[in-house]
Structures are given as C-alpha cells and as structure tokens.
Structure 1
Amino acid sequence: MEFSTSVKILDQSLISPPPLSACESRPSLPLNFFDMLWLNYSPVERLFFYQFSDSSSHFIDFHLPNLKFALSATLSTFYPLAATIRRSRSDGRFEIAPAHTDSVPLTVTEYAGNPADFLDISGDHSRPVEKLLPLVPRLPMSRDAQPLLALQVTLFPYFGLCVSLAVHHSACDGFSSMQFVKLWSATAASSFRPDDLVPQLPAPVMDRTVIPDPRNLYLQMEKAVLDVRVNEKMITSGISGGVYAATFTLSAPEISRLKKEAQKKAEEQGIPCFHCSSFVVSCAYSWICLLKTRHKTDGEGKAHFVFAVDWRRRIQPPFPETSFGTCLSGCFVKWDAEELLAKDGILAACAAIGKAIEELGDAHESMDGVMDKLGEIAPWRPLSLAGSPKMGVYGTDFGWGKPRKVEVISTRETGAIAMAESRNGDGGIEVGVILPEDNLKAFADYFAGGMDR
C-alpha cells in the first residue's frame, strides 16, 4: 500500500470481527440486482474531520485501543464489510463471502506538514483535492476477491484529526454505510462517557431474500457489468488534471425562498402542482449553477441530471428500512437547457425534478435496462448526486464531539455533487463540488449570485 509523503504511518492494523466458535459460521450474502449496478464503480470516500487538542502519542496510547475495540465489536454486526465479493462456488453468482480470516485495514497516520493546516484542509473554501487524497485509505479493485472497506485516521497534533473510509458501493449504499459508522462511533464514545449507554440503533437486516427479482434482473445486470464496453456506460467527470474541492451551503431561509419562488411562478403560469421539497429545490439550484458553469448538453440541447432513489420504502412489497446493502436506482431527468438558463430556470428545474420523482413507478421497471439508460446520457456528462441530507452525517460522534466537517471526495471520479444536511442543524443543505479551479470559481459566483446571474 502506497501513501503520499505528506503523511507518515504510525500504526497499521487488521481489525477482525470477534471470532466465532468452531460450530458457527457467518452466512454469505448474494448480490442482488441493485448491488450489481455498482460493481465496477470506484469506492465511496467519505472524510470526517474532528477537533482534537491532544498529541499523537496520546491518541495512540489512549484513543486507538478503544477505537480498535469498538471497530471489532461493530464488525460483529456489520460482518459483510470485513469480507470480500467473489463468485459463489455453487452457482457462480457474485456474493459477499465471509471467511474466518476476514479483517478490515485500519491505518493511523500523522500529517507531515504544519498541524495548523487542519483548519485549512477541513474548510469549506476551495482547496486542491491533492491535499485531501493522502487522508483517504486505498481500497484496491479486484474482480476475484474485492475487499469492501478500508479505514484511516490522520492526526494533526493539537489541532484535529480525520477519520476516513473507502467503502465499495456494491457492499452497501450511503444509508447502510452510515449505519455502520454511527454504531462504530457510538460504541467508541460510550467508553469515554461511562454514564452513557451505547444507543440502541436499529440492527441491519442482512436477509437478501426480501428483495424479489421477478424479471431476473440480476442476470441482466451481470451481463452489463461484465461487458467489455461497460466503461462507456458509466458516468464519469471527464476531467483531467488538477481539481479543487469546495462546500457551499443553502440555508433554510434560502431554500424556503426558492420553494416559494418556484411555486409562485408555477401558479402564475398555470403549471399543475408538483413535488417541491427542500431536496428538489437544492438539486435544481445546483443543477442550474453547474449548467451555467459548464454548458454540457446533448445533441438536442437537453441537459441531464440523474440521482439515486432509495427503494427501501418504495418497492412492493416493502422491505425493512435497515436492510443492509445497496437499494438504489437512478431517477433520470432531462430538460431543455435554454429553459433552465432562462429567467424562470428555477421553476423549470424544480418542475422537471419534481415530475420525475412523482412518475417513479416500480423498482424493477426502473432497473430494467438501467445500464443502457446510463450509457445513452454518459457522453453528455450529466450532473449526478452523491450523499443525501437524510443520512445524518453530522450526528457521528466518536467521543470528540460532532464533526467539524464531513466531505465526500470520490466525486472527483464521477463529477457528482455531494449533499449533506447542514452541520448547524438549522435545516440547511451543504453542497460539495469538485471542479477545475476556473470552473469552481465560476460555480461559486453563480451559487452566491442566486438566479439573477
């Protein structure tokens, strides 16, 4: 494993779930058609920055043993994350296959520069992504035995630390991975607060039989992801060279204003009511700002936006909200770019996204031919979305308080924007963007200027 020279390794460990007795075993989890969609995508990389006022030696001696113990305990519940994806020996299908030797790599590093750089690196302003990459663990890609999780802690002595994870999307989506992180952090925090009990978080449901496959979509997805041309059907950023990351916030009052503006214009123009939530207007606003920044349209002058839909509560019959795995499919939005860039662009964008949500039908219908749908729009570099304001990423406390900042940087590969709830708990929404420097400056101007620019 290679690391940048900007960090030095202090500790490397392999953390395993607690051992089972000789007569026990952990069951394999067959991948379903939702999981298969993400088999070729690079891992999701999420960073949690915390204020930390102690030395590296204090962390190693006092905090690290507790962090490792809590991780092992959490992996007893989330054991698939310590396993690998491989083909089943019985039927050849892909599965998460546990073994007695399963473990998760946990690496502790120390930032080699000025520790005060923590305040800059964990900020919202524009920063080169190359400053963030050394803080992220590497998760190798392997079709024979794909590892699913790697963890890293980077210390900025007396200033802060960063807990980061790289998790394979076929193992679980953001909702499931946050279930894991919240249990790990709560277990670790309980050791520092003896009077507090570990919160009784809902247990993940590992049963994959709750997801029916009447159309045999698994075989369709397997054929698609193993196709030699599969990379042509994957949405990528299309960006080469240096990129910069920044985070922007839409406050609750701003979101409310955009909602009212869109709804008022819809009434004035006699447009039927449509789904207009905080999520919709935040996506619409970000879509317009990015379209102004990079005018990417197809041959018909249409702009494209695709975002993931969580089917846990939508699929029929419904299955548990705590189902572990990936339960996402794409919701595709297409609209005339000139309308989006016009004076009433916020109405057009909200109406397009809201209508697409309202027209969501059956989960199996949504997934049928989804790789071909992605392939059709991939050349036009559509806007895509990572994360969700509903994940509660800022509720993750390892005993050091809530995060100063949470960031997703794997979006540099896909060109997606990353969304999370505002860290202030005021109903706002954070939007993370990674772009070339000039593009990012333009995006920042449009985002700050509202719909008037």
Structure 2
Amino acid sequence: MASLPILSVLEDTQVSPPPATIVDTSLTLTFFDFLFVSRPPIHYLYFYQLPLTKTQFVKTIVPNLKHSLSITLQHFFPFVGNLFIFPTSTKKLPEIRYVDGDFVKLTIAECNLDFDDLTGNHPRKCDMFHHLIPHFGQQFFKTSDYVKIATFSLQVTLFPNNGFSIGTTSHHSLGDASTQFYFLKAWITIARCGTNHTFLANGTLPVFDRLVNYPEVDKSFLKYAYVGSFFSQEYKPHNLSATDNVRATFVLTRTFIDRLKIWVVSQIPTSSHISSFVVVCAYIWCCMAKIRNDEKQMFIVPLDCRKRLDPPIPTSYFGNCLRMSISIAKTSLLTGNEGIIAAAKILGENIHKELAEKDGLVKDYSTLNIDEMLKTIIAISGTPKLVFYDMDFGWGKPKKFEVVSIDYSLSVSIHACKECNQDLEIGVSLTAKEMEIFICVFKEGLELHV
C-alpha cells in the first residue's frame, strides 16, 4: 500500500491589493539593500494550535487570511511587487516595481506530519519544515534587459484537528526583520478587525522615502549585489534543498543572561561595551566553536542603523537598514577556559567601533582586512527587540516560531520567547553529529554559570 503524500495542495491562488488602491510605482534599492540582493530568501514559519477540521479551515481561516492580506498589501506595495535587476553595463540600480495586476502567490495545503513534534524544541529533521515553506520557483523571469524576481509568497498549511502553519518567503532585498515585522503587525491588526480602520488610526505606515541618501556609497556598494551572476546561464533561484541537518531550539533565560553578564563584566571591568546581547552572542560563538575544528572563525552580527544614522530615520523606514559587525578569532581562543570573556571583548569592541566611527555605517566593506576565506562563518539572524510571538491574528499567539532560512548556512536565530519577552530562543541548524555536541556544550555552559 502506497504511503500518503506528506503535503497535499488544496489550492494555489493569487492575492492582489483591492482594485485601484495602488498606482504603478517603484522603489529604488539603496546600498543597505545591495548586500542582500544575491542572498537566499528569508523564511519564517508560524505554527498555530487550533483543533480545526478541513471544512472549518477552508471556510473560516483561509477567507479571513486572503481578505486581510489583500487589504494589507495596499499599504505595503513592495510585498506584492517584483524585484528588477539590470545588467551592470546599464549602471541602473536594482528596484522593486509594482504594476497593476501584480500578486502574491498563496498556497493552501494539508499536511500529515506530526504537529506536536514540529513545534517542539528538540532536534527535528530540517527537511520536514521545508514542506511548509513556499518557494519562488517559477516566479523568476530573465531577459537580456532585466531579471524579474518575486519578492514575497505565502503558504498556509492545515494539520487536521491540530492546527495550521503560516509560512512566508521574502526576498531579502525586500527588507530586514524590522520591515518584515511591521508588515506582519499590520496584517494581524487588519485580520482581527476585518478592515484597515484600526490600523490607519493606530498603526504605523511604512516610510518609502529613500531617506538613506548616499549616491556615492550606492555606486561603491553595487558590486555587492553581484548583478552579473543573475545573467549567467548557470544562475538558479535560491530554494531550500534536501539536507540531513536537524534543527533545535534552546532557551536562555533572563536570569542566566544577567548572571553571565555580571560575571563577564567582573572579568574585564575596563570594557564598557559589554551588553546583554553581546554576552549572548559570545556564549553562542563559544558553543559553536567547539563543534568546528578550523583555525579561525568569523562571527557576524547585524546592527539596525535606523536610529544610528545622522540624522536618525524612522523605525518604520521600509527596506534593509543593517550594518554587519564582523569579528574574527582563533578557535583555540574561543574554546579555552576564558573563551566567553575573549569572545565578549572582541564582539563588544567591534560592535562599538562599527557604530562609533563617523563614517562607520556607510563605509565600504572592502576596507576590512580579511586575509583569508574562513570555512566557519556564523551569522546571527533576527533580533530580540522584535517580538514575533505577538503575531495573533485572532486565534491566539503562535505555538512556535521558526526561522527556517538558517538552514541555508551556519546561521543562528535569536528572538524573544513566547512565555517571557526577556528570555531568548536560540534556533540552530546543524548536522546530527554537530547538534549532539552542541547540546552537550550548551548545557554544560548553563550548569557552569548557574
């Protein structure tokens, strides 16, 4: 007897803004966006526990999501537009365009995987989550004059009598975590009310003005978009591929973080750059260092620059507005007895330097003195400042939130916990053998600093 398919597609549909609510328009990318034009998409996955039958799901949840999404899109046109990339010879900057008739691809599906297993913290096969994430796939069009790529797609998947998931795929040039967060907050407000009246009265409209205005920096950073690669015959859009990796979630309580920070500060009292976030990153870096045997390792921390530009720009600025703080250390240093102290000192100083230099936020990365390509590059995804567990469409907060895009590389997600915003959830995707070591190292560190 043949086994049932893991995923059954119930409907493939398209969602557009209400007619005549948006005129044809475009948004030119800035140097902050160029860093992410060629990077893999961002994949978010929200699990909602609700004992629904298929009939209830199709007749209540799906229509509400479609209707509210359509209304929301009129205020966030780049989410329904397409990214246009032009050949290097044109010297034309990439842009996101919306024209009448554009849409968001929405897949409605049913899944027979174990809902409770997927929403746990224990190691789970990454491949299982890939079924729940929408792929751009054929939403890629190339001519000799331009490449057109979809910016956003959705998949809503039912787990009969258990709940459902909402999976989002966003092209990273669309915006950073802050931009994603403000879009989702607007969507849930509209979904709960049925109209956009409450959102317009109390919400925050996105700021599309290109307030980050550094034309010379744009020209300098355009090389990081790797425009030429999109026009090569070998280019293929990023999609999640089969993997043997497993993912797990680890919790760092505020009590542990405070205790660790006090201890680190006591060891390096002359340093004034040791924040709670720095010690969390230092702890993660040292844990990751013990599963890799490379001579050196790199750790990348994204820094939101909205409030740090001169003059500052609104938190609702639409797009990417991140600067990467890059730290490098010898693995032997990170795995030594004072590894966390060393890591915190390096990370704290580099983050401070990045933010304190007058031209630090707009300087070219080519000035960095990186003399070799490192095998182990760990990057942080997300921020504890944005509470993604607040995404309540009217049926309660998510049971679990996952950043599936950490499967593309050695990235680590950090976000606030559901139960307490002061506690942090750490998402990690590793091979089964690496995960086994990481779990032991992570637990040992917790016991050591209790």
TM-score, normalised to structure 1, is 0.87
Per-residue CA deviations over 1:7-50 (Å, capped at 9, x if unaligned) read 101122110012227xx724311011111111111100010111
Matches within 5 A, 1:243-392: 243-267=245-269, 272-298=270-296, 303-360=297-354, 361-362=356-357, 365-370=360-365, 373=368, 378-392=373-387
Greater alpha carbon shift after TM alignment, 331-340 vs 45-54? 331-340
Return the offset for 1:56.
1.7
1:189 counterpart SS class: helix
Per-residue CA deviations over 1:301-357 (Å, capped at 9, x if unaligned) read xx3211111110111121111100011121011234333222222211111111112
Unaligned stretches of 5+ in structure 2?
Answer: 233-237
Residues 179 and 316, structure 2, Cα contact 8 Å, conserved in 1: yes
Matches within 5 A, 1:29-44: 29-44=27-42
Question: For this pair of structures, how many residues does the alignment match?
Answer: 427
Distance 1:388 1:276 in 2: 17
1:445 is matched with 440
2:25 counterpart SS class: coil
Per-residue CA deviations over 1:346-386 (Å, capped at 9, x if unaligned) read 21111111111211245854453326759856533221110
Determine whether 1:132 maps to 2:134: no
Return the offset for 1:154.
0.8
1:135 counterpart SS class: coil
Greater alpha carbon shift after TM alignment, 54-63 vs 130-139? 54-63
2:202 counterpart SS class: coil
**1:427 maps to which of 401, 404, 422:** 422
Return the offset for 1:63.
1.8
1:80 is matched with 78
Determine whether 1:412 maps to 2:412: no
Matches within 5 A, 1:129-208: 129-140=126-137, 144-191=147-194, 197-198=198-199, 200-208=202-210
Return the offset for 1:244.
0.4
Per-residue CA deviations over 1:78-97 (Å, capped at 9, x if unaligned) read 11110011147997321111
Distance 2:351 2:327 in 1: 9
Distance 1:245 1:371 in 2: 33
Per-residue CA deviations over 1:210-260 (Å, capped at 9, x if unaligned) read 11215x1222232343366899xxxx9xx9951000000101111111111
Residues 45 and 165, structure 1, Cα contact 8 Å, conserved in 2: yes
Determine whether 1:242 maps to 2:244: yes
Distance 1:191 1:25 in 2: 23
Residues 300 and 327, structure 2, Cα contact 8 Å, conserved in 1: yes
1:106 is matched with 106
2:307 counterpart SS class: coil
In the superposition, relative to structure 1, how do residues 162 and 334 fare at CA in structure 2: closer, same or farther (>3 Å)? same
Distance 1:227 1:88 in 2: 7
In the superposition, relative to structure 1, how do residues 227 and 169 fare at CA in structure 2: closer, same or farther (>3 Å)? closer
1:7 is matched with 7
2:323 counterpart SS class: strand
2:317 counterpart SS class: coil
1:97 is matched with 97
In the superposition, relative to structure 1, how do residues 100 and 6 fare at CA in structure 2: closer, same or farther (>3 Å)? same
1:280 counterpart SS class: helix
Residues 282 and 340, structure 2, Cα contact 8 Å, conserved in 1: yes
Per-residue CA deviations over 1:370-416 (Å, capped at 9, x if unaligned) read 26759856533221110111111011101110111110111111211
Report the aligned-residue RMSD: 2.8
Distance 1:153 1:377 in 2: 43
2:314 counterpart SS class: coil
**1:65 maps to which of 63, 66, 82:** 63
**1:402 maps to which of 362, 374, 397:** 397
Residues 292 and 376, structure 2, Cα contact 8 Å, conserved in 1: no
Residues 314 and 363, structure 1, Cα contact 8 Å, conserved in 2: no
Distance 1:351 1:129 in 2: 34
Return the offset for 1:190.
2.5
Greater alpha carbon shift after TM alignment, 437-446 vs 9-18? 9-18
Residues 52 and 157, structure 1, Cα contact 8 Å, conserved in 2: no
Residues 36 and 170, structure 1, Cα contact 8 Å, conserved in 2: yes
Indicate the percent of aligned positions where both proteins have the same amino acid: 30
Residues 305 and 382, structure 1, Cα contact 8 Å, conserved in 2: yes
Return the offset for 1:189.
2.1
Residues 152 and 170, structure 2, Cα contact 8 Å, conserved in 1: yes
Greater alpha carbon shift after TM alignment, 365-374 vs 178-187? 365-374
Residues 127 and 243, structure 2, Cα contact 8 Å, conserved in 1: no
Distance 1:364 1:86 in 2: 29
1:213 is matched with 214
